[in-house]
Chains A and B, each alone.
Chain A
Amino acid sequence: MDSTVAEQQRILDSDWGGGRSPFGTSWSKFMMWIFIISDALTFAAFLITYGFMRNISPAWPKQTEVFNMVLITFMTFDLISSSAVMAMAVGAARAGNPKLAVKFLGLTILGGLIFLGCQAFEWTHFIEEGATLTHNPWGVAQFAASFFVITGFHGFHVFSGVTILAIVAIRAAMGKYSADGVENAGLYWHFVDVVWVFVFAFFYLL
Chain B
Amino acid sequence: MTWVWLLVLTALALGLGYAPINERLKAFLLVCTTLAKILVIAAVFMHLRYERLNLIMITFAPLILAVILFSFTFPETFGSATHLIRVR
Do A and B pair up? The answer is yes
Which A residues contact B (CB, under 8 angstroms)?
Answer: 22-25, 30, 33, 36-37, 40-41, 44-45, 47-48, 51-53, 55-58, 64, 69, 73, 76-77, 80-81, 83-84, 86-87, 135, 140-142, 183, 186-187, 190-191, 193-194, 197-198, 200-202, 204-206
Residue of A nearest to B16 (CB): A205
- How many residues in B have their beta carbons less than 8 Å from beta carbons of A? 49
User: In the assembled complex, how far is the CB of residue A194 from the closest CB belonging to chain B, in whole angstroms?
Assistant: 5
The answer to whether B18 touches A24 (Cβ under 8 A) is no
User: In the assembled complex, how far is the CB of residue B67 from the closest CB belonging to chain A, in whole angstroms?
Assistant: 9
Dominant secondary structure at the A interface = helix
Instruction: Give the residue of A56, A84, A201 whose beta carbon is less than 8 angstroms from that of B33.
Output: A201
- In the A-B complex, the 10 residue pairs with the smallest Cβ-Cβ separation, listed nearest first, are A205-B17, A44-B66, A55-B77, A84-B3, A40-B62, A201-B34, A56-B81, A24-B52, A87-B45, A190-B45
Instruction: State in angstroms the CA–CA spacing of A52 and B71 once bound together.
Output: 11
Q: Which residues of B contact A198 (CB under 8 A)?
A: 34, 38
Q: Which of A22, A135, A201 lies at the interface centre, i.e. has the most chain B CB atoms within 10 A of its CB?
A: A201
Which B residues contact A (CB, under 8 angstroms)?
Answer: 2-3, 6-7, 10, 13-14, 16-18, 26-27, 30-31, 33-34, 37-38, 41-42, 44-47, 51-52, 54-55, 58-59, 61-63, 65-66, 69-70, 73-74, 76-78, 81-82, 84-88
Instruction: State in angstroms the CA–CA spacing of A201 and B12 once bound together.
Output: 11
Count contacts between A and B, CB distance < 8 Å.
Answer: 133
User: In the assembled complex, how far is the CB of residue A2 from the closest CB belonging to chain B, in whole angstroms?
Assistant: 33
Q: Which residues of A contact B86 (CB under 8 A)?
A: 141
Instruction: State in angstroms the CA–CA spacing of A169 and B40 once bound together.
Output: 26
The answer to whether B74 touches A83 (Cβ under 8 A) is no
Q: Which residues of A contact B37 (CB under 8 A)?
A: 194, 197
User: In the assembled complex, how far is the CB of residue A54 from the closest CB belonging to chain B, in whole angstroms?
Assistant: 8
Instruction: State in angstroms the CA–CA spacing of A190 and B73 once bound together.
Output: 29
The answer to whether B85 touches A135 (Cβ under 8 A) is no
User: In the assembled complex, how far is the CB of residue A96 from the closest CB belonging to chain B, in whole angstroms?
Assistant: 17
Q: Given that A37-B58, A45-B69, A73-B14 are known contacts, is A80 also in contact with B26, CB under 8 Å in the complex?
A: no
The answer to whether B38 touches A194 (Cβ under 8 A) is yes
Q: Which residues of B contact A206 (CB under 8 A)?
A: 17, 26-27, 30
Q: Which residues of A contact B45 (CB under 8 A)?
A: 83-84, 86-87, 186, 190, 193
- List 8 A-B residue pairs with CB atoms under 8 Å apart, sorted by A's residue number: A44-B63, A48-B73, A51-B70, A87-B2, A87-B45, A140-B87, A201-B13, A201-B34
